[in-house]
Chain A
Amino acid sequence: MQEAKLISRKDYAKAFLGIGAFLIILGILFKFILDPSVFFDLYMYVGAIGIGAVIYGIKQLSDKSNQDVGVTFSSKKVKGFFTDNAIILAMLLLIVVIMIIEPRFMQYQVFLDILTQSSTKMIVALGICFTLLIAGTDLSAGRMVGLAAVVSTSMLQNSDYANRFFPNMPQLAVIIPILIAVAACMVFGVLNGFLVAKYDMHPFIATLASQVIVYGVCSLYFDMEPNKSQPIGGIRPDFIALGQTKVLQIGDFPGISILVPIALLFVILVWFILNKTIFGKNVYAIGGNREAAVVSGVNVFATIMGIFVFASILYGVGGVLEAARTAGATNNYGNGYEFDAIAACVVGGVSLNGGVGKVGGIVVGVLIFTVIQYGLQFIAVSPMWQQVIKGIIIAVAVAIDMGKYRRK
């Protein structure tokens, strides 16, 4: 077992500044030296890593609380680093491998596409994380996404469309059907919260029941005359714009989908709620030790209601955005979304035992799954292999997570 090596924090920071500066220069060099038809936008990534290293180095220098504490390198610490960040490192490795196999993966358009594809899934994951933080779950998430998609589009079709859902409905302001769709989800959010808070039902059973009810209600609505279960089409362009507009189209830059800033907004909102509000602290308290929360005077009933209702709002928003993005809806939208959302949260460090989880981790978790899905598709790996790999990642992530708790 090699001895632990101690490096002063200043040297540690300077090393990162040095590596960062080197990479930035390398990136600039690459832009001019490398053939863009072979290496595409590799220079951007190299430069970005360089900038990241420089920022990390500056942070290490300016963080006053760490100034005198040296940084130790020992085989134990290195091992710990690899176990804690195993999934991210695996993803980075996968990215590098794909870039070698198919260099077109290095185009920055790929990066933008991955961000766009993660956006609606991100919002659903952020919603479900509240239920995971209290050691619960929400199996009705996906079906609520479908409900919101169907309800919103049913009232937002062009007046000249042949198969209108409500043939005689006047055109409403686009916000109204959206609010109705989210409200519909909230009704079932209240149901979930009530069953769990009042009757102490395990969230698995309560949300399993409402999952089935929501799908039934959605399908009944979808099957109403005159629609009779036809996929809802002829969607109004102002609604579609919500999902398909591109923003920041400056010069040559193709712009990013509006879904990305919307998702970012929700990331910030949820981060704020979990870290800066009494409600957020109560969520962690109930997840950490429910009995202690009761003794301390935390309003467990209200918090649980709040959790399931807020989650349902996020699922509703996700459903509306999915419908806008695809310019349509059927009652099968959102099917299974809860599993991807839970998997992303777990991979992102949310503990199924409750009380542990950070928004940053959830963002990373969602991105990891999107990168894997998109990347494997990019190199034409069969979707079935994607399933296998997804499953392995979930198992490994939970095993590592459990391993952290077993060491008493």
Chain B
Amino acid sequence: MAKAVSYNSKIIIMDEPTSSLTETEAEHLFKIIRQLQNKGCAIIYISHKMEEILRISDEVSIMRDGQYVGTWPAKELTTDLIINRMVGRDMTNRFPPRTYEPSKEAVLKVDKLCSPLPKSFQNVSFDLHKGEILGIGGLVGAQRTELVEALFGLRGIESGTIEKDGKVIKIKSSKDAKLHGLALLTEERRASGIFGILSVLDNTVIASQKEYSKFGVLQEKSRYKAAVKSNEELKTKTPNMEQLIQNLSGGNQQKVLIARWLLTNPDILILDEPTRGIDVGAKYEIYSIMHELVKKGKSIIMISSEMPELIGMSDRVMVMCEGKVTGILEQSEADQVKIMHYATQFMK
């Protein structure tokens, strides 16, 4: 940010500048933007945070599916109007209604989990109830991703126990995690989720290949059928199964990844920022899918940095700050202020 500002440019393009900033830092950014405006600099500010856009912009341009929709003065817009123009229809609710009730039995018990790295997660303890969505909130650097990667066997655990369905388990690799019924959708789907140059078919079945093979040889028909069924259930939009996944939109790529993990029959799905970089309409579809899954008895751990999503989708919210769990809030007590308070507990 500082580098960009130091160039004395006439036009600065900022692409999602506040995704890694705290609220105070974002405020500071807005001050700088006002200063730049006063100096005559023009700013293109790309963001999916509509509240921010309405605060900071003079004019708002909306794009949808690669097409330019229009430009309006910010004064004439509201969040609902923006959503309407982004999605092409009205969305009175950003989140589907909750029509299920999570149980009280714990499907996963994590007790005093510590990372071998002192700066990473330490003494993390929580329960995951069957049929619930447990949201994990916190700032960038709170070690949430590191925690779930450790649960999935991708990172080391120094001490602490993990209990699944009452039995203590050791997870040293993604293979172990899969065996114990865990699934992980990583934070950066391009970096560690999708195989961009492979087909939707290959991307869907990659985690469950043994199911559709005999002695290592692929059984094409059952493989194809399973991939088609799994994607159809999630309404993935793709012209055919041979399409390269990198040609699909972000939302559909995410659906293929969910289809992939559903084929492994997990009990617990860990979703790390499941709707990042996805448009509002596709986000709603993912939320609906999540509700379908918990209704079927699966349990979800969802890491999210979007406050409305965290509050709107979680049954309980666990907040982390600098590697430690600072609070676990019930749905009824979860609000922006309390979550931010816990998220910044060690940073005053």
Contacts and interface: CB of A to CB of B under 8 A. Distances in A.
Contacts of A297: 174-175, 177-178, 207, 264
Contact of B154 (A277, A294, A356): A294
A15 interface: no
A268 to B, nearest CB: 14
Nearest to B220: A276
A284 interface: yes
Contact of B260 (A291, A296, A355, A356): A296
B202 A281 contact: yes
A279 B210 CA distance: 11
A284 B202 CA distance: 10
Interface string A270-296: 000000111101101100110111111
B209 A278 contact: yes
B194 interface: yes
A299 interface: yes
A259 interface: no
A282 B193 CA distance: 15
Given A292-B193, A295-B186, A297-B175, A355 B217 contact: no
A295 B193 contact: yes
Contact of B210 (A278, A288, A293, A356): A278
Contacts of B206: 281, 285, 293, 296, 298
Given A288-B198, A294-B154, A355-B198, A277 B192 contact: no
B216 interface: yes
| A interface secondary structure, majority | helix
Contacts of B192: 289, 291-292, 294-295
Contacts of B174: 294-297
Contact of A295 (B184, B196, B198, B218): B184
A278 B218 contact: yes
B195 A355 contact: yes
Contacts of B336: none
Contacts of B5: none
Contact of A277 (B177, B195, B198, B217): B217
B191 interface: yes
Residue of A291, A296, A299, A356 most packed against chain B (CB within 10 A): A296
Interface string A129-147: 0000000000000000000
Contacts of A299: 175
B8 interface: no
- Which 5 residue pairs across A and B have the least CB separation, nearest first? A288-B195, A291-B192, A296-B207, A297-B174, A278-B209
Given A293-B195, A293-B206, 17 more contacts: A277-B213, A277-B218, A278-B218, A284-B195, A284-B198, A284-B202, A285-B198, A285-B202, A288-B198, A289-B194, A289-B196, A292-B191, A292-B192, A295-B154, A296-B206, A296-B207, A356-B197
Interface of B: 152, 154, 174-175, 177-178, 184, 186, 191-198, 202, 206-207, 209-210, 213, 216-218, 220, 260, 264
30 contacts: A276-B220, A277-B218, A278-B213, A285-B195, A285-B198, A285-B202, A285-B206, A288-B195, A288-B197, A288-B198, A289-B192, A289-B194, A289-B195, A289-B196, A291-B191, A292-B191, A292-B192, A292-B195, A294-B174, A294-B192, A295-B174, A295-B186, A295-B193, A297-B174, A297-B175, A297-B177, A297-B207, A299-B175, A355-B197, A355-B198
